[in-house]
Chains A and B, each alone.
Chain A
Amino acid sequence: MLGAIIALVLVLAIAAPHVAPLHAVAPRTASAVWFFALALRALVAIGTAIFVFVYVPQTEVFGAAADWCWAIVSHHLGLSAHPLAHAATVLPALAITASLLWVLFGLVRAAVALRVLLVQRSLGEGPMGSVVVEEDDVFVAVTGVGRARIVVSRTALGAMDREELAASVAHELGHIRRRHRPLLLLGSAFTGLGRLLPGSRAAERELRFSLERDADEYAVRKTRDPLALASAICKASGAQAPASVTVGLGGRGRVTLRLEYLVGSGPRRGAVLERSMRLLAAFLAAITLVLAAAVPAWAVANPGGEPGAVPGHGCPEH
């Protein structure tokens, strides 16, 4: 019964950010909600893997199913049931470990490639301490790993006016000053761990969107020119390849939403909603912390015996 209640609370906590009106609250609040939602997803994935490895083999249902399946498999292939049962219970843990390693490996590879590219293409120092690189696109970015550097393409220097350039560099500076980079990296790692849970990628996209909005707010506070930043965003978007067959349909995506906020036609923020979402963030943070402490303790406690143990009563040996 307690297990069912805990599971229900976790499902509700994971689902809540997806239905909450987080676009209508301060970006910092929305970022906190999405960050803890992703952390919670990662912990649930780890907890599920531990549950499958430690507890599922101790259940009667697993024993009965294993007996039936293994009897057939071992009869045809002449394999012993025990190694197969152990292998089956370790699969979820292997899957999430592989997913995390894949994300980390990709990060290291991308970081190395980026470092080489920046050395190869660097043309010198740009505005506000940025690095100007040889690049065809209108491109302003901040490096997400390693030493923080704002990168501006030579094309962007030509395409943007002084205010647009100042606003877009201030936006990237916002990512650095407001410590978004570690949040994004942890967010990627959490997404890797929770990849098997539906909605993890959507949660990561929302975290990124909230952090972009936060950096927009930082830039507007610094430059006091939201239209310059909006114009820079339009130019950076316009430099990208056309959206294939969907061109002409029109639509309201995340870039459009950012523009709406900047030109002042975004959703209004209410004090009550803001407080509610802060409470949601605090609730998610609390659950995450409790779960982070409970999962290792729960795994170590292992009331039923050996990890991955298959009940001996009905398991055929060969």
Chain B
Amino acid sequence: MPKRRRDLDFRGNLQAEVMSAIWKLGEGTVEDVRQQQAQRRRSAYTTIQTVMNRLVERGLLTRRRRGNAYVYRAEYDEGAYLARTIGDRLADASPEARRSALVNLVESLEPGERQEVARYARRIRRTRSKRD
């Protein structure tokens, strides 16, 4: 599972750019992705091909042959990628670093605390509804 989480991270601007182009296109060839780039900074065909093949190896893209070319498609839609929690994205950092980088309203429940909090939640809800 941790491997999968790491695989879902983009490791460079070009990878992010390729993924963004594929999400926009739905599916596309290397040339289609190149056409999405601004002309003055368009990457070489082989560069994009290498990046896309690497994304296939990492499970972010799938490909199928159509004629002489491969057509690539995203394995996850953009929403699913973005829906990962911020906690997941910071999971690689040490606990101290994670807690210091983002101070949450509630960090985490201690073992066995869930029921006690649920009991409080019911009590607070009752009191608030009476008050209102």
Does B39 interact with chain A (Cβ within 8 Å)? no
* A256 with B103: CB separation less than 8 A: no
Does B131 interact with chain A (Cβ within 8 Å)? yes
* A106 with B103: CB separation less than 8 A: no
Chain B residues contacting A233 (CB-CB under 8 Å) are 105-106
- Residues facing A in B43-96 (CB within 8 A) are 82-83, 85-87, 89-90, 92-94, 96
Chain B residues contacting A248 (CB-CB under 8 Å) are 112, 115
Whole-angstrom CA separation of A254 from B99 in the bound complex? 15
Whole-angstrom CA separation of A240 from B87 in the bound complex? 11
Chain A residues contacting B103 (CB-CB under 8 Å) are 141-144, 172, 175, 180-181, 184
Does B38 interact with chain A (Cβ within 8 Å)? no
* B101 with A171: CB separation less than 8 A: no
Whole-angstrom CA separation of A176 from B98 in the bound complex? 18
- Residues facing B in A173-199 (CB within 8 A) are 175, 180-181, 184-185, 187-188, 191-192
* A263 with B120: CB separation less than 8 A: yes
Known contacts A141-B105, A172-B103; A110/B97 CB under 8 A: yes
With a 10 A CB-CB cut-off, give which of B86, B93, B101, B120 has the most chain A CB atoms. Answer: B101
Known contacts A117-B89, A136-B83, A243-B114; A107/B109 CB under 8 A: no
Does B14 interact with chain A (Cβ within 8 Å)? no
* A144 with B124: CB separation less than 8 A: no
Residue of B with least CB distance to A112 = B101
Pick from A102, A106, A255: contact of B106, CB below 8 A: A255
Whole-angstrom CA separation of A144 from B86 in the bound complex? 14
Does A140 interact with chain B (Cβ within 8 Å)? yes
Pick from B94, B98, B113, B131: contact of A256, CB below 8 A: B113
The interface size of chain A toward B, counting residues with CB under 8 Å, comes to: 66
Pick from A103, A187, A232, A255: contact of B117, CB below 8 A: A255
Pick from B98, B109, B120, B128: contact of A240, CB below 8 A: B109
* A230 with B120: CB separation less than 8 A: yes
Chain A residues contacting B82 (CB-CB under 8 Å) are 120-121, 134
* A136 with B89: CB separation less than 8 A: no
* B128 with A251: CB separation less than 8 A: no
* A246 with B112: CB separation less than 8 A: yes
* A106 with B94: CB separation less than 8 A: yes
Range of interface residues on B (Cβ < 8 Å): 35 or more
* A144 with B96: CB separation less than 8 A: no
Known contacts A109-B93, A253-B113; A133/B102 CB under 8 A: no
Pick from A171, A243, A254: contact of B105, CB below 8 A: A171
Whole-angstrom CA separation of A43 from B17 in the bound complex? 48
Known contacts A110-B93, A134-B83, A230-B120; A236/B105 CB under 8 A: yes
With a 10 A CB-CB cut-off, give which of A103, A191, A248, A256 has the most chain B CB atoms. Answer: A256
Pick from A106, A235, A256: contact of B97, CB below 8 A: A106
Does A42 interact with chain B (Cβ within 8 Å)? no
* B109 with A243: CB separation less than 8 A: yes
Residue of B with least CB distance to A164 = B128
* B111 with A234: CB separation less than 8 A: no
* B116 with A256: CB separation less than 8 A: yes
* B96 with A263: CB separation less than 8 A: no
Does B118 interact with chain A (Cβ within 8 Å)? yes
* A251 with B116: CB separation less than 8 A: yes
Q: Chain A: residues with CB nearer than 8 A to chain B? A: 102-103, 106-107, 109-111, 113-114, 117, 120-121, 133-137, 139-145, 151, 168, 171-172, 175, 180-181, 184-185, 187-188, 191-192, 204, 208, 227-228, 230-238, 240, 242-243, 246-256, 259, 263
Extra contacts, 15 of them, besides A141-B104, A141-B105, A231-B128 (Cβ < 8 A), are A109-B93, A110-B93, A114-B102, A136-B83, A141-B103, A142-B103, A144-B101, A184-B100, A227-B128, A240-B108, A246-B112, A247-B112, A253-B111, A263-B123, A263-B127
The contact sample of 10 A-B pairs, CB cut-off 8 A, is A110-B90, A135-B86, A144-B99, A168-B105, A227-B128, A227-B131, A231-B128, A236-B105, A263-B120, A263-B123
- Top 7 A-B residue pairs of the complex, sorted by shortest distance between their CB atoms: A106-B97, A253-B110, A251-B112, A110-B101, A234-B121, A253-B113, A249-B112
